[in-house]
């Protein structure tokens, strides 16, 4: 596990702490020879005689009970299967870039497992995009449920929504500070954000609003590559990637009960992402149009900072994801169809989509 610096006067980070759930009580069952007495809602028997039920009807009525009991039985030497595992959803909150496209909010992705959400990056408008996803039926992305974020690197387009993520959910009822994980420099950023809004905080705590909890705060962990978070349901691994001149930049791998999702962040082709995916369910990768940027004068920067359609095709052929999701797209004058065509022409035959804001996979 990577080293972490903590900002914890008001709270403490517990990385790797596992959530434990109370054991379920065993389901009572009969001995199979005697019919069951019917009960009233009060719990008292409604009659004192046994019911006589025809064999076929008895078998029909008993089938659901037998199915539920068989799911709970663990035979010696068998592996327990956790019932009703939470389905993992990937929600693209924002696909944007520093270009101020009104249809594409700042870069941010959410991994949603059951009632918990795990954000990657905090681009412009992150909380309102999350609220829109909640309105579309993903309750884990309601503002009050935005409790943790993993920052890939400290470029402004990936972090300008961090004050929003700290303060807006606090005003909407979040019951804990937000946990922020990121590269060196993240602690200074969150500390300075708190300082910049000190007047706002003072008025909300001591003015007519009368707030008492300090849940605007960011409990910040500066991380290194490796496992940086594990709550017993979701494990998060930080993946070192190469992005222009940044000394430290990360992608992230999320391992959930039913899926493995790898998110590149901003990166030029990085072998670490191939290794991290290695047949993963979903690879979310940034991209720029090879055909249209071949005619762009700043090719040196894009080659050092980002991944072209031809390069992402080659990377995906090695990584073998079940689904390749293109995001944080640098189009120039290209379209989503152009990006997919270029990926296909470069030889990638797997499933690939070019994401839009609020897409769910």
Q: Which of 359, 361, 340 is nearest to 94 (CA)?
A: 359
pLDDT of 77 reads 43
pLDDT in tens, 274-327: 999 999 999 999 999 988 777 665 677 777 889 999 999 999 999 999 999 999
Cα distance between residue 219 and residue 215, in whole Å: 10
> For the residues 237-263, what does the mean pLDDT come to?
96
What pLDDT band is residue 111 in, cutting at 50, 70 and 90? very high
pLDDT in tens, 54-67: 554 444 444 444 44
355 or 64, which is more confident?
Answer: 355
pLDDT of 4 reads 40
Share of the chain above pLDDT 90, in %: 68
**Is residue 54 situated within a structural domain?**
no
pLDDT of 332 reads 83
Mean pLDDT, the chain, rounded, equals: 82
pLDDT of 302 reads 78
Provide the edge-to-edge strand list for the sheet that holds 352-354. 226-230, 235-240, 250-255, 260-263, 282-288, 323-330, 352-354
**Is residue 67 situated within a structural domain?**
no
Cα distance between residue 318 and residue 278, in whole Å: 8
56 or 217, which is more confident?
Answer: 217
pLDDT in tens, 65-97: 444 434 433 344 444 444 454 599 999 999 999
**Is residue 185 situated within a structural domain?**
yes
What pLDDT band is residue 213 in, cutting at 50, 70 and 90? confident
**Is residue 257 situated within a structural domain?**
yes
**Is residue 308 situated within a structural domain?**
yes
Count of alpha carbons within 13 angstroms of residue 94, beta-carbon side: 31
**Is residue 42 situated within a structural domain?**
no
Lowest mean pLDDT among 6-20, 136-150, 342-356: 6-20
What pLDDT band is residue 117 in, cutting at 50, 70 and 90? very high
Cα distance between residue 106 and residue 20, in whole Å: 35
Cα distance between residue 212 and residue 344, in whole Å: 55
pLDDT of 86 reads 54
pLDDT of 305 reads 81
pTM: 0.77
pLDDT of 196 reads 98
**Is residue 55 situated within a structural domain?**
no
Domain count, the chain: 1
- Residue 281 is encoded by which pair of tokens? 């369910």
> For the residues 248-263, what does the mean pLDDT come to?
98
CATH number at residue 285: 3.60.15.10
Domain containing 292: what range? 88-354
Tell me: pLDDT of 38 over 60.
no
Cα distance between residue 251 and residue 274, in whole Å: 11
**Is residue 15 situated within a structural domain?**
no
């Amino acid at each position: 596990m990577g080293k972490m610096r903590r900002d914890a006067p008001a709270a403490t980070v517990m990385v790797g702490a596992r959530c434990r759930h109370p054991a379920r009580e065993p389901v009572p069952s009969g001995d199979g020879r005697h019919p069951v007495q019917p009960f009233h809602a009060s719990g008292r028997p409604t009659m004192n005689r046994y019911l006589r039920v025809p064999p076929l009807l008895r078998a029909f009525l008993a089938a659901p009970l037998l199915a539920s009991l068989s799911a709970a039985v663990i035979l010696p030497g068998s592996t327990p299967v956790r019932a009703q595992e939470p389905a993992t959803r990937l929600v693209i909150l924002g696909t944007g870039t520093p270009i101020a496209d009104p249809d594409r909010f700042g870069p941010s992705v959410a991994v949603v497992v059951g009632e918990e959400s795990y954000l990657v990056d905090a681009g412009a408008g992150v909380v309102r995009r999350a609220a829109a996803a909640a309105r579309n039926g993903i309750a884990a992305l309601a503002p009050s449920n935005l409790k943790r974020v993993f920052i890939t690197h400290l470029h402004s387009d990936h972090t300008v929504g961090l004050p929003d993520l700290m303060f807006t959910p606090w005003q909407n009822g979040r019951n804990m500070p937000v946990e922020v994980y990121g590269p060196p420099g993240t602690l200074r950023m969150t500390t300075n954000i708190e300082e910049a809004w000190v007047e706002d905080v003072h008025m909300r705590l001591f003015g007519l609003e009368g707030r008492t909890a300090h849940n605007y705060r960011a409990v910040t962990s500066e991380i290194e590559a490796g496992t940086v978070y594990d709550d017993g349901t979701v494990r998060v691994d930080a993946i070192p990637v190469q992005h222009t001149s940044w000394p430290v930049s990360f992608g992230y791998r999320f391992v959930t009960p039913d899926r493995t999702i790898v998110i590149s962040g901003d990166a030029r082709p990085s072998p670490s992402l191939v290794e991290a995916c290695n047949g993963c369910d979903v690879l979310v990768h940034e991209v720029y149009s090879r055909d249209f940027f071949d005619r762009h004068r700043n090719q040196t920067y894009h080659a050092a900072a980002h991944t072209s359609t031809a390069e992402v095709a080659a990377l995906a052929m090695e990584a073998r994801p079940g689904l390749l999701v293109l995001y944080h797209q640098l189009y120039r004058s290209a379209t989503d169809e152009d990006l997919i065509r270029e990926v296909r022409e470069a030889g990638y035959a797997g499933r690939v989509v070019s994401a839009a804001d609020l897409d769910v996979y």
